[in-house]
Chain A
């Protein structure tokens, strides 16, 4: 009987391995382990076995049944896996078809540069303030030490609405407004749109500036340099250097033009920077004490520095845009490149 059981075991194991699929495997299971299965029948024949042998035979049958069950499970999971694989590969889709939710658009290059500049300044302790674009002559000029009929008015071609109201030619117009509003010490930046009566491939009648103003008891040109270096490095990369050149603005004294290492050639000289390795990007200086006084700030106690620059130009330099007019042309083929 023991031989018979071993024979069944061997036969069953062979047939399990030969099964080609789940149903064949199931047939083998029924054949051996089913209610009328061969192994079950062996148990039925136990009556003929001597009582002393019965426990032995019983244990053997149970062992064979368990081992066969394990084998069935193993084979079965193999088939299930296989079926799953087949199912998965059958249900594969073309992942390169377009997504169904709408595709993203993009911000204008100007907005992206503004974000970098503004966030950097906010990180350095500046608060963002806003001012009107249609402005009183007083804030755009007089409060900035440019009286009516002053020769410095020739530096900018201004659009006028009336004798007294104009389209601001510089975001510096926010300076006097903010001095009347905030108590020093403070640091502000003011981004915004400005207007000049000028139009060609490098000048647009409408463009954008960022103005910065710091008022404290003890700021100097050296702080101005450190501040602008930090801002320009965040904008153009950590190797960026800046340098000062003398200039004139009625509202700062001393006044400087600020050159930034050419972001294209990193200072070695190229076509864009006309071989100088630098680009003139900003105007800056120590706030003229007359401007502080007109803004109601004690110029004996406080000193300030201010800077301002065209953000369109920074965006153009950063993104390799040659003509300022393409910034305003809004050709979708241009805008799609900013994705």
Chain B
């Protein structure tokens, strides 16, 4: 929202400088995002008159001008062709620094001195809507009435200061000059200067000219007035200048006035050419399905029955609150005008504005909420300006259609309630003064405030709202020096981590210790990741975002694999070939599509590496899993994105796959452009949660010595180590203490398709020292078992 310093001054006396005012507004919750001095590029530009023009002695296209600057004269050389003797022009002198970046200094042009430059409208930042001649391709020729030597910013009225203010959604009333001015009054404790709202009318009655039928409740109030014999011409300077300052192009008196009132009062206005209103009747109704309307942005829109329109007896004229139609608009030939000030349901305007894709200054205000009384204030202000500027004859009476007038809200609360919320004891009189300054009618009795809320402050409902009003005007700096003991008035509560965070930290720390770096990816992904990952199960069904930024991040990932492999691929592409990474995050699995209930979100830690071999990678995964107390076994993995012979699932006692790891499938390696031996794994945190704590039942350590035996056997390649270990364990029976594979050996002399495994077996008895005979017997049983079950031979 843009307002100007001078415009604000119409409604409140401001003693502070523009900068200080900006600070105070920001401190009160109206953040001034930009403070713009209109004249910041107009210094050293003055009004001058060309007294004499002579030809440049050595350049055909240049002319030497003798310029009268009132108290001084200057010689200026110009190439402009639209200048003439007697022309009054803007003259930029040495030191000037124009909007287009041109800096002026004394110079010589083909041997003749030039002390400056004449300016075009563009170089001053203005066009024809601001002053005639400002859009011509050449020098701006000023009216002869301008004072020679006057600074151009003063002469053109470009000496205001513009505030671009961020208005929070709870304060639609401040999308106006008067709204901001009321805040300024409260901040400085100054009175609000009420704008002139009075005017005189002719004797004719508005009912004789127009009737209004309000057929939809989406229109809360509809006011209409008639102005006869309107003067459609250029608006007076002050109107055009102010509209220019806030970024609105001046068009003609009536259109400019609607905009002026919109900015000043916050009330969107609309003006119709009365002769274009069929049947002399305005009907406020929902649009007919398929009804079309060509509007002021030169587009034509097809409307639906959800859209509210202002129509005449047979056709739509305006998309209510959004944009007016071409047909009924004010034009140079308009004789009588109908002026509208209305209040529409904010949701209706919002939905229509979104649906047709048109946002205007009107819709921006209506969709945030325009209050009931705003319409009459806007209408009165508009008509008083018509009267004051003599722009037409106002017909007596204003048509005013509405369902019911709102009641004024009353809030009653004690000062203590406000103090308790704020934790600060602001003096009662200050509270009273602040609320009164904001336009609330207040009574203070026995520490209790009864406040009547003005209609435009629909945001104020209870003591919390009043507390906020008080503190933002009193100043939040009151907290700067406040020393409060933490939670001195509160119950002591126990702080604790949730189990998932605990588990996630354990596993992350384990992976860091194994040499892995944590990465962070979006949980959003493109639609085709399951094809790339060779995934054929339910994870193919991913949740799609209805309004994605791009296809690349249009779905919610159903697996961590895409994220990790993409991070690896990125690193390889920038030359980081060796890396080991992990990521903690979620996957999202819909229970049905399209989604009717929330999906299952699963917490995973995914990991990947280009530098670790299968067994190193396995070590990292299992070390991480063993941070918990889970009892697991390893099975060949069924994950289709992994190499079927080089991958494993970590399965708990309930047959849940708590982790998966292995070399990626060659197809996946190809799809992601990764080395074949890239490893990927994932740990399902949610499935490991039940095992978060490790539980131990300690058995006493045997007092008797351990006996060790080494055993080297030869078996076929496909025999698994885990099976051999299980066989050794069971053959040892009660005497088993530990078994370790300490060597694997393959050679031509052993033969094709076989391997030699060497185990270190430890035996122990809790109750006695083992005899040689007992040990020999056990080892014989082991060898027999391995031979019988796995065809093992001794090496």
Contact = CB atoms under 8 A, between A and B. Distances in A.
Interface string B160-173: 00000000111110
Given A104-B515, A226-B486, A303-B421, A330 B546 contact: no
Contacts of A244: 476, 479
Interface residues of A, number: 87
Interface in B410-465: 420-424, 462, 464-465
A108 B518 contact: yes
Given A102-B515, A134-B599, A219 B521 contact: no
Interface in A99-136: 102-108, 110-111, 115, 118, 121-130, 132-136
A330 B464 contact: no
A165 B598 contact: yes
Nearest to B350: A149
Nearest to B347: A149
Interface residues of B, number: 95
A253 B468 contact: yes
Given A104-B512, A218-B489, A133 B495 contact: no
Given A162-B546, A248-B170, A253-B465, A222 B424 contact: yes
A331 B518 contact: no
Contacts of B579: 332
Contacts of B351: 149
B284 to A, nearest CB: 20
B28 interface: yes
B710 interface: no
Contact of B493 (A111, A167, A185, A328): A185
Contact of B484 (A135, A162, A222, A243): A222
B350 A111 contact: no
Contacts of B367: 151
Interface string B462-492: 1011011001100011011010111111111
Interface string A146-165: 00011110110001111001
Interface in B597-656: 598-599, 601, 616
Given A108-B520, A151-B172, A206-B523, A223 B489 contact: yes
Interface in B381-434: 420-424
B586 A105 contact: no
Contacts of B491: 185, 216
Interface string B313-352: 0000000000000000000000000000000001100110
A245 B521 contact: no
B37 interface: no
A128 B479 contact: no
B484 A206 contact: no
A272 interface: no
A126 B169 CA distance: 32
Contact of A121 (B490, B495, B574, B594): B495
A200 to B, nearest CB: 11
A244 B477 CA distance: 7
Nearest to B467: A254
A199 interface: yes
B462 A289 contact: yes
B58 interface: no
Contacts of B484: 222-223, 225-226
A254 B518 contact: no
B103 interface: no
Nearest to B502: A128
B494 A220 contact: no
B423 A221 contact: yes
A223 B601 CA distance: 35
B518 A225 contact: no
Contacts of B170: 152, 248, 250
Nearest to A188: B493
Contact of A128 (B485, B496, B524): B496
Contact of B497 (A106, A128, A162): A128
Contact of A206 (B423, B522, B571, B616): B522
A220 B48 CA distance: 64
Given A107-B508, A193-B523, A244-B479, A222 B423 contact: yes
Interface string A272-300: 00000000000000101100000000000
Contacts of A253: 464-465, 467-468
B89 interface: no
Nearest to A312: B520
Contacts of A165: 595, 598
B486 A230 contact: yes
A105 B516 contact: yes
A246 B28 contact: yes
Contacts of B616: 102
- Of A121, A124, A128, chain B has the most CB atoms within 10 Å of the CB of A128
Interface in A208-249: 214, 216-223, 225-227, 230, 241, 243-248
Contacts of B512: 104-107
Interface stretch (B270-278, B548-556, B752-760): B548-556
A205 interface: yes
Interface in B562-585: 567, 570-571, 574, 576, 579-582, 584-585
B505 to A, nearest CB: 7
Contacts of B549: 197, 199, 205
Contacts of A124: 486-487, 495
A335 interface: yes
A187 to B, nearest CB: 5
B551 to A, nearest CB: 13
B457 to A, nearest CB: 14
Given A165-B595, A230-B486, A328 B520 contact: yes
A329 interface: yes
Interface in B151-204: 168-172
B545 A122 contact: no
A158 to B, nearest CB: 8
B592 to A, nearest CB: 11
A332 B482 CA distance: 45
A159 B555 CA distance: 11
A125 B595 contact: no
B490 A185 contact: yes
Contact of B476 (A133, A134, A187, A246): A246
Given A122-B495, A128-B501, A248-B170, 4 more contacts: A205-B549, A254-B468, A329-B570, A331-B570
Interface of B: 26-29, 168-172, 346-347, 350-351, 367-369, 420-424, 462, 464-465, 467-468, 471-472, 476-477, 479-480, 482, 484-498, 500-501, 505, 508, 511-524, 543-549, 553, 556, 567, 570-571, 574, 576, 579-582, 584-586, 588, 594-596, 598-599, 601, 616
A-B pairs, 10 with minimum CB distance: A222-B423, A220-B423, A246-B29, A254-B468, A248-B168, A102-B515, A122-B495, A330-B519, A244-B476, A108-B518
